A = this chain, B = another copy of it.
Amino acid sequence: MNAARKKPEDKRSSPRAQPSQGNIPLGPLEKSIGYALRRAQVAVFADFMSHIGDAGLRPAQFSVLLVIRETPGLKQSVVADALGIQRTNFVAMVDELQKKGWLDRVPADRRSYALHLTEAGEAKIAEALAMHTAIERRIGRLLGPGGRASLLEHLRIIATTLADAERDDGQRA
């Protein structure tokens, strides 16, 4: 996912890219929700990176700062759990955000930390959120007024229903 990196190669000297390769049929993939979800998600994240990534802020980090901004003082494990990140992988993320000066670990008791944004973190997330809002509005224009709400609802249904099913499978096993 690094659409922000330079693209030094931009030859495309010939008008058509490939010989005899108009559009390769993807078969059942073309009607697959899973595949369409992946392609759309990749595109949106690349778009995010090209607009916000220059600030050194990746999507996952953006989500962390937003949650802490919404509720300052949350414990590491609570933030990680809310975002579906394992606490073991969350350690390095907080380390990095702290090293960048956007976030502080404030001791809550002697084994846990309360997470708070620094002033720099508040400024950074405000700036990133403004660009994120612009991106979302652009998507809204693409899909039409009801389209965006409809899409959000469909995605919510899929995420919650399938995630619950996974959890049930785990319990049954």
Main secondary structure of the interface of A (DSSP, over half): helix
List the one stretch of A93-101, A103-111, A141-149 in contact with chain B: A141-149
Residues of A within 8 A of B (CB-CB), count: 73
Instruction: With both chains docked as a complex, state the minimum distance between the C-beta of A14 and any C-beta of chain B, in angstroms.
Output: 15
Q: Across the two chains, which residue of chain B brings its CB closest to A151?
A: B154
Across the interface, A63 reaches (CB within 8 A) one of B29, B33, B42, B143, namely: B29
Total identical chains:
2
B33 engages A139 (CB within 8 Å) = yes
Quick check: is A171 within 8 A (CB to CB) of the other chain?
A: yes
A142 engages B155 (CB within 8 Å) = no
Q: A151-B33, A171-B10 are in contact. Are A41 and B41 (CB under 8 A)?
A: yes
Residues of A at the B interface (CB closer than 8 Å) are 3, 6-7, 10, 18, 21, 24-29, 31-48, 50, 59, 63, 66-67, 69-71, 74, 78-79, 81-84, 129, 132-133, 135-136, 139, 142-143, 147-148, 150-152, 154-159, 161-163, 165-166, 169-171, 173
